[in-house]
Amino acid sequence: MERAPKSEFFHILRTQQFDRVVLDELCDLTTAIRKFAKTKEGLHYLRGLLAHKRAMLYFTQPSTRTFLSFNNACQILGIQTSEIRDPSTSSEVKGESLLDSLRTFSSYVDVVVMRTKEEGLAESAADLFDHIQRRVPIINAGSGRDQHPTQALLDIYTLERSFKDHGGIDGKTIGMMGDLRRGRTVRSLCYLMKNYRNVRLVFIAPDDFMMEEDIKTHLHQHMVQFTETKDLRSVLPELDAIYITRIQDEHDKAGESGRVDLSPYKFGVEELKHMKPHGVIMHPLPRRDEIHPDVDLDPRAKYWRQERNGMWMRVAIFVKLFKVDHLVMHGHLLD
Give yes or no for residue 284 binding ligand NCD (CB under 6 A).
yes
Burial grade of 260 (CB within 10 A; 0-12, 13-18, 19 or more): middle
Check residue 305 for interaction with ligand NCD (CB under 6 A).
no
187 is catalytic: no
Alpha helices (H) along 63-112: 65-77, 98-108
- Residue 287 is a catalytic residue: no
- The DSSP-derived string for 199-258 is -EEEEE--GGGPPPHHHHHHHHHTT-EEEEES-HHHHGGG-SEEEE----GGG-SSSGGG
DSSP output for 302-327: -HHHHHHHHHHHHHHHHHHHTT-HHH
Residue of 11, 14, 103, 115 with catalytic role: 115
Residue span 204-243 as binding mask against ligand NCD, x where in contact by CB under 6 A, dash where not:
----------------------------------------
Q: Which distant-in-sequence residues (6+ apart) come within 8 Å of 256 by Cβ?
A: 208
Nearest distance, CB of residue 245 and ligand NCD, angstroms: 6
* Contact call for residues 15 and 147 (beta carbons, < 8 A): yes
Question: Which listed residue (60, 66, 116, 245) is catalytic?
Answer: 66
CA-CA distances (angstroms) from residue 247 to 186, 189, 206, 243, 260? 12, 17, 11, 13, 10
Catalytic-residue membership of 115: yes
Give the residue, chosen from 60, 185, 195, 309, that forms a contact with ligand NCD under the rule CB under 6 A. 185
Tell me if 138 sits within 8 A of 125, measured CB to CB: yes
Determine whether 200 is an active site residue: no
Catalytic residue status for 259: no
Active-site pick, 53, 148, 182, 283: 148
Tell me which residues in 144-183 interact with ligand NCD (CB under 6 A).
148, 151
Instruction: State which of residues 172, 184, 187, 302 lies at the interface with ligand NCD (CB under 6 A).
Output: 184
Told to check if 14 binds ligand NCD by CB under 6 A, we report no
Residue nearest to ligand NCD (CB): 284
Q: Among 285, 324, 329, 333, which residue interacts with ligand NCD (rule: CB under 6 A)?
A: 285
Applying CB under 6 A, which of residues 53, 161, 182, 246 lies at the interface with ligand NCD?
A: 246
Binding-site string for ligand NCD from residue 58 to residue 87, where x marks contact by CB under 6 A and - marks none: -------xx---------------------
Minimum distance from CB of 335 to ligand NCD (Å)?
34
Q: Smaller CB distance to ligand NCD: residue 59 or 196?
A: 59
SS3 72: helix
Give the residue among 111, 62, 159, 121 at the shortest CA–CA distance from 317: 111
- CA dist., res. 266 & res. 217, Å (int): 27
Residue count, binding to ligand NCD (CB under 6 A): 11
| Choice between 193 and 247, CB closer to ligand NCD | 247
Closest by Cα among 204, 205, 208, 228 to 216: 228
Catalytic residues: 65-66, 94, 115, 148
Site for ligand NCD, rule CB under 6 A: 65-66, 142, 148, 151, 184-185, 245-246, 284-285
